[in-house]
Chains A and B, each alone.
Chain A
């Protein structure tokens, strides 16, 4: 059997940032589909640089718990794992990096459901604001957020759908200018409830600190804030799907997943 390594950002200031990664890892460990399941973080130990040496299996599948195909998944992670060909690997095993969870088609539904859940009335009058990280460092970073927003828009469930970003245009601060709906559901397309979802986004849209799902009045509009989507149990199944794409047989393990963590099962 192979080993599964879940690579996430982590945080030096927010313990909650690693929580969703630990939860998905624990759930997958219980399935016994892999010899080993390890977590690794950019900001916490074990670092990307040192995680491979902690694995004993001769095949390692790394699944990035990132929302986009961008700076971290294309540049930082391969470099830190020594997979760019510029320096030799520190282990003598086969290592492959799967696509990040955030670009998986099922994430469209995860975002949509999260938006639905925080709203109370008819969605026809609700604007769904999906907030991604985005970065000027990578042209592809915003793409997944935009793709999911486009898909949800076509499904016509919400009155309006927009994709906004923390670190590139259109910035999250512009949400009240860009959306005319009197009711807005703000769903952060983030894996972790860290600094961005508990401080930066709430501050940018006039909410007080804290990541709990809640509804408040801002600028005369009703704002429903959902917190990071990475805690959704169904992302465990998305991770399994990514590992399956990388060649691991997860069919039997998947059947043991609790319904709430199964794609199409909740």
Chain B
């Protein structure tokens, strides 16, 4: 595939990487630092933002999306990362995608759908699903999440959705008219609806497994 086969969202993302390059060293995408290299050889490089000052000799070179997927499924302690946008991306590696297609592929492994939703938001077309609408469509074990009161929901959001817990920037609210008053969300890409992790956290609270202010940690 070449650049012509890239989507509008992907082209826009690559333009962001180019533009940022003019002003700073690298583009930050969640906990990824992305650099563009002109000239011969691999055109891009991704690594953890905390590894920006580390020489390549001191990092493990990952050879492709499968290696990247396996590495980023676990944090630095070897614990499983069920939430891909949690701020616990492991450090100590770099990947050198040969071209823009390979770069996009890598971003999709680490932060799936982030480019697409970021682009939709820029276009003013992000399809946000607020809490009440999102739980209304649930069935099965999530079927009664609509009984959670707004105050508890606010506490659950404060515990699970701010930058300390998730790097997505929450755009969903209680409903189209009522917000959830929780600041501290500066992520570059948006969160368009309560995610599976948040739904499970809410369910765990409902089942009495966690307190409202306690973070859900799957075991």
Choose from A26, A56, A75, A90 the contact partner of B5 (Cβ within 8 Å): A56
Contact with A along B117-146 (1 / 0, CB 8 A): 100100000010000000001011000000
- Assess whether A51 is interfacial by the CB under 8 Å rule: yes
Which 8 pairs show the lowest CB-CB distances between chains A and B? A46-B112, A13-B218, A12-B82, A12-B218, A15-B80, A50-B113, A53-B116, A45-B112
Report chain B residues within 8 Å CB of A14.
Answer: 80
Docked complex Cα distance between A11 and B80 (Å): 10
Contact surface of B with A, Cβ cutoff 8 Å: 5, 7, 66, 69, 73-74, 80, 82-85, 108, 111-113, 116-117, 120, 127, 137, 139-140, 192-193, 195-197, 200, 218-219
* A26:B66 contact, CB within 8 angstroms: yes
Between A and B, 20 residue pairs with Cβ closer than 8 Å are: A12-B82, A12-B197, A13-B80, A14-B80, A15-B80, A22-B69, A43-B82, A44-B84, A44-B196, A45-B85, A45-B196, A46-B112, A47-B196, A49-B193, A50-B117, A50-B192, A71-B140, A75-B139, A79-B137, A137-B140
- Shortest beta-carbon distance, B194 to chain A, in Å? 10
* A54:B218 contact, CB within 8 angstroms: no
Q: Is the interface of B mostly helix, strand, loop or mixed?
A: loop
**Residue from the set B7, B69, B112, B127 with the largest chain A CB neighbour count within 10 Å:** B112
- Shortest beta-carbon distance, A30 to chain B, in Å? 11
Report chain A residues within 8 Å CB of B218.
Answer: 12-13
Closest to A18 in B: B73
- CB within 8 Å for A46 and B113 given contacts A13-B219, A15-B74, A56-B7: yes
